[in-house]
Amino acid sequence: MSLNIVISNDDGVYAPGINVLFEVLSEIANVVMVAPLEERSTTGHTLTLDHPLRVVKIKENTYGCSGYPADCALMGFGHIVDKSTVDLFISGINRGANLGQDIYYSGTVAAAREATFHNIPSISVSSAMDFESNKAPNNEYFYTAANFIKKLVLADIHKHIDPMTVININVPEVLENEIKGAEVTHLGFRKYSENIDKRTDFRSREYYWIGGNYNGHNNDAGSDCSVVEEEKISLTCLNLLSQTTEEPSKWRRFLDDLI
């Protein structure tokens, strides 16, 4: 019997990453996509409680939602698909890494976290694409991530994810044959300049942009940041209530058997 998988993201329903994931997983599972109608990056775990949500059917098994990523997760398994039939929830493939403290800002991770709160095994997955990169072809990097997720699904990963745990996966910006392995990691720390730019509009009124440049990460061996920089896939167990010492060891054994 095919698995029933719901997918979402924060880049939006038309983003290439989620559509590559939909294409690849549809080869092995029943997949339903419920994603934001517009980009909702870096919106964290926002839920829309003060105005209605609207859902648009884009095509068969693909829906756009006016809300945020966590709203889309709820809409997916709370309305469009019978929650009791969902075997796995996957959020991604995000364009740009979700490493270190990024997980607290990430709409991608938030969608998976919302599903986890409802006892659905959940994965968030990101491709560590640099938005200023001129590498081509970009979609090939999404296929690198999608094919790894496909491998995990075929290995019944949903049976290995403990309650209240999100599996956060980051894939380096390389082609599939250039991946140098996969490791179970812990969260690192990324450094940003956190600039706030002050500007003036045409009516001479002040406004601000929160910006800042990425300035690298702490040199922490075994962290998700370091492993992705080594062109390896990072798998981090995000336990939402507590972290047991058994979790990383279990996932190392799982990856060893897979790779």
Answer yes or no: is 158 within a domain. Answer: yes
117 vs 241: CA distance, rounded Å: 10
pTM of full prediction above 0.75: yes
Looking at residue 190, its pLDDT comes to 76
Confidence of residue 185 (pLDDT cuts 50, 70, 90): very high
79 vs 66: CA distance, rounded Å: 15
- Check pLDDT > 90 for residue 154: yes
Looking at residue 61, its pLDDT comes to 97
- CATH of residue 166's domain is 3.40.1210.10
Residue 78 neighbours by CB under 8 Å, 6+ apart: 118
Q: What is the pLDDT of residues 95-143, one digit of tens each?
A: 999 999 999 999 999 999 999 999 999 999 999 987 766 676 678 999 9
Whether the CB-CB separation of 167 and 124 falls below 8 Å is answered with yes
Answer yes or no: is 201 within a domain. Answer: no
Q: What is the pLDDT of residues 201-243, one digit of tens each?
A: 999 999 988 776 776 678 888 899 999 999 999 999 998 886 6
Answer yes or no: is 16 within a domain. Answer: yes
Answer yes or no: is 213 within a domain. Answer: no
Q: What is the pLDDT of residues 35-55, one digit of tens each?
A: 999 999 989 999 999 999 999
Q: Which helix (H) or strand (E) holds 146?
A: helix 138-154
Count structural domains, the chain. 1
Answer yes or no: is 214 within a domain. Answer: no
Looking at residue 178, its pLDDT comes to 95
Looking at residue 244, its pLDDT comes to 63
Answer yes or no: is 199 within a domain. Answer: no
Whether the CB-CB separation of 4 and 85 falls below 8 Å is answered with yes
Domain range for 68: 3-189+219-258
Answer yes or no: is 172 within a domain. Answer: yes
Nearest CA to 118 out of 72, 74, 167, 162 is that of 74
